[in-house]
């Protein structure tokens, strides 16, 4: 994951502003696999949402991401959760991410770095209050990705 963040940060059009702690979480969707590691990063970019997605997909490919099965094991998975106040529904790109509000492993790190960001009329922190975070374990904090 640190390699993925470093690759995004090295892009001339994208700068990582802050990164959440790193969390170990139970797998979601397909549960008969090892735990996942999750984090959320805030970036500033001059890229469009589609161009940012293309960058993320290129980084995933460079890190040998194989899309063998939905929600299955993977070396890396990068998603665009939010992009300013935009709402997009394009082939392969939905912003805000359509399932983020149901996923504690997304909302916990997001609320850590952007507690007041508004999503569907409520803050990230408020959305997090309605999710079970008991199985999520912090693994590293600070500049763990550098």
Catalytic residue list: 65, 74, 77, 79
Dihedral-angle region of residue 82 (phi above 0 means left; psi in -120 to 50 means alpha; beta otherwise): beta
CB burial of 50-75 (b: ≥16 within 10 Å; e: otherwise) equals eebbebbeebbeeeebeeeeeeeebe
């Amino acid at each position: 994951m640190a390699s993925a963040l470093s690759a995004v940060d090295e892009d001339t059009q994208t700068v990582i502003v802050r990164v959440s702690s790193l969390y170990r979480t139970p797998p979601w969707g397909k549960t008969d696999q090892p735990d996942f590691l999750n984090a959320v990063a805030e970036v500033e970019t001059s890229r469009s949402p589609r161009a940012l997605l293309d960058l993320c997909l290129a980084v995933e490919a460079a890190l040998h991401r194989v899309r063998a099965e939905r929600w299955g094991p993977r070396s890396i998975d990068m998603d665009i959760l939010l992009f300013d106040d935009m709402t997009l529904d394009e082939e392969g790109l939905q912003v805000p991410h359509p399932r983020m509000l149901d996923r504690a492993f997304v909302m916990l790190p997001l609320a850590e770095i952007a507690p007041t960001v508004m999503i569907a009329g409520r803050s990230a922190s408020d959305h997090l209050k309605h999710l079970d975070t008991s199985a999520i374990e912090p693994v590293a904090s600070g500049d763990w990705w550098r």
